Amino acid sequence: MRDSAVLHIKGRVVVGPDAGGSAWDMDIRDELWVVDGKITYDRPTAARDVRTVEGWVLPGLVDAHCHVGLDTHGAVDDSTSEKQALTERDAGALLLRDAGSPADTRWIDDRDDLPRIIRAGRHIARTKRYIRNYAHEIEPEELVAYVAREARRGDGWVKLVGDWIDRERGDLAACWPRAAAEAAIAEAHRLGARVTAHCFAEETLAPLVEAGIDCVEHATGLTEETIPLFAERGVAIVPTLVNIATFPKLAMAGEERFPRWADHMRRLHDRRYDTVRAAYDAGVPIYTGTDAGGSLPHGLVGLEVAELVKAGIPATAALSAATWGARAWLGRPGLTEGASADLVVYESDPRADVRVLTAPRRVVLRGRVIC
């Protein structure tokens, strides 16, 4: 589509919750227009070059936990980063929260054909307590300085590794003393950044929430004791269920050396759906993320939405976790008047079957039909 062309989207445009209705009422419109890359609900006058696209329309999907610029060995080159971003785009994920990467991907911001990225800088981990070549590996007395550094490098987020296997203990264990975490989170907030943390274990969660953390990734260790704390303080979780599905394989690989850890990982996996549903029922904010870019491929956000539904979250809430709700949480617009036209068109109603998210009919990015 030429930049001067007008795009007419017809069908059912699912804008989001109806501000004037109940919690379950949706604002669904029959059409929208794209003029100069922006959304409008007013029919343009004297439009000569009009392209029409029909279907069910959602805001561009959000993968709120992925890693562009990273693979199993660490940072990747720009060509590989480009392929990762293109894979996300073609799957309809047009807004990515990059939850830690050692690669510099700022050049992506200059590409109109690639998704928008909100970066959390590089992971910050305890020395020898995370995947090699991924993170800054430091000690607690250095945590505040490194958080300040990544807060300035990122796009309003900082990523900590909250727990990992302790080889002496033979199981998951927290990485940071409470005082160090409190000081680091306070410093990030002073600099205008929010803080999230990789957490698998139960014992890691309450101290981080009480220290003021804003979000927890994976959150497999949530229990009936800690879920109310998350809900009370509005701490979000990004469950990454497509990643948690790999726990049995990880446990099998490490069972000989660390049987206690392997058993723990299996138990966390076995109750993953119950954990997520209990968090939802308690009112904990939940958003979609895939953890793509480490051991998992990109482009899995549709499968993650289906996993949330499998956990017992209603389809509309699961869609919100990947669209209008996630965009509001990240401070980015959806299908609002004047917003950039970042949207995905589907063959059928995604509320009836969220699996349609894995097969976009059209992807529109910055007002241009990409695929």
What pLDDT score was predicted for residue 3? 44
Mean of pLDDT values over 228-252: 98
- Dump pLDDT digits (tens) for 177-214: 999 999 999 999 999 999 999 999 999 999 999 999 99
| Average pLDDT value for the chain | 96
Given a cut of 70, is residue 176 above it in pLDDT? yes
- Dump pLDDT digits (tens) for 67-125: 999 999 999 999 999 999 999 999 999 999 999 999 999 999 999 999 999 999 999 99
Question: Quick one: how many helices (H) and strands (E) in the chain?
Answer: 12, 20
What pLDDT score was predicted for residue 1? 41
Task: Please give the backbone phi and psi of residue 254, each rounded to the nearest 5 degrees, phi first.
Answer: -105, 5
Confidence of residue 21 (pLDDT cuts 50, 70, 90): low
What pLDDT score was predicted for residue 61? 98
Q: Report how far Cα 334 is from the mean position of its chain's Cα atoms.
A: 16
User: Alpha carbon of 255 to those of 175, 227, 251, 258: distances in Å?
Assistant: 22, 29, 6, 5
Task: Please give the backbone phi and psi of residue 136, each rounded to the nearest 5 degrees, phi first.
Answer: -70, 125
What pLDDT score was predicted for residue 22? 58
The SS3 call for residue 39 is strand
Top-confidence residue, 207 or 24: 207
CA triple 234-333-309, angle to 5 deg? 55
What pLDDT score was predicted for residue 351? 96
CB neighbour list of residue 353: distance below 8 Å, 6 or more residues apart: none
Tokens standing for 114?
């690639």
User: Alpha carbon of 239 to those of 158, 169, 243, 349: distances in Å?
Assistant: 18, 26, 9, 25
How deeply is 111 buried, as exposed, middle or buried, from its count of CB atoms within 10 A (0-12, 13-18, 19+)? exposed
Mean of pLDDT values over 157-180: 97
Q: Check: CB of residue 61 under 8 Å from CB of residue 28.
A: no
Given a cut of 70, is residue 20 above it in pLDDT? no
Predicted structure pTM score: 0.96
- Dump pLDDT digits (tens) for 276-300: 999 999 999 999 999 999 889 999 9
Q: 217 - beta bridge partners?
A: 198, 238
What pLDDT score was predicted for residue 247? 98
What pLDDT score was predicted for residue 18? 82
pLDDT-wise least confident of 5-9, 224-228, 344-348: 5-9
Please count the other Cβ atoms lying within 10 Å of the Cβ belonging to residue 109. Answer: 12
What pLDDT score was predicted for residue 24? 66
- Dump pLDDT digits (tens) for 325-359: 999 999 999 999 999 999 999 999 999 999 999 99
What pLDDT score was predicted for residue 186? 98
What pLDDT score was predicted for residue 45? 84
